[in-house]
Amino acid sequence: MEHMMTLNRDHAATTDHEAVARKVEAFRLAQIAADPKALGALCADDLSYSHSNGFLEDKAAFIANATDGKTEFLSIAYKDPTIKIVGPAAVVRFHWMAEMMTGGQKVANSLHILMNWLKQGDDWKLLSRSATKL
């Protein structure tokens, strides 16, 4: 019986890990597409989104600013991602590498990202994000 419980717990952890990985990839694609509907569906209502310059946004401000057309992402890569499931939370870290057009200039940036995802029912939502310049 104990073996079965371990197996079920391991399966649940694997399933959660895969679900979070899918959400992280969906978030990356939604950022590139500047898709407000997709970003809104991926973010928790209590989102705290912090940029590498310390600028902090709530969910509404993040979605408005991410989709206002002032920055066009040419590419975003999430390098060397790690996902750790801790109960109903997932700690996600990766190296963000992006190229974008902003103010008529092509800009590249390299950041370390920390995301915290929260399981709400059967769905994972981005609760917080923090960025550090590399």
Quick: pLDDT tens for 18-49: 999 999 999 999 999 999 999 999 999 999 99
What distance lies between CA 79 and its chain's CA centroid? 13
What are the sequence ranges of the domains in the chain? Answer: 1-133
- Residues 36 and 103: their CA atoms lie apart, in Å, by 21
Does 1-133 carry CATH code 3.30.70.1290?
Answer: no
Quick: pLDDT tens for 57-106: 999 999 999 999 999 999 999 999 999 999 999 999 999 999 999 989 99
Q: What are phi and psi for residue 122, nearest 5 degrees?
A: -100, 5
- The model's pTM: 0.89
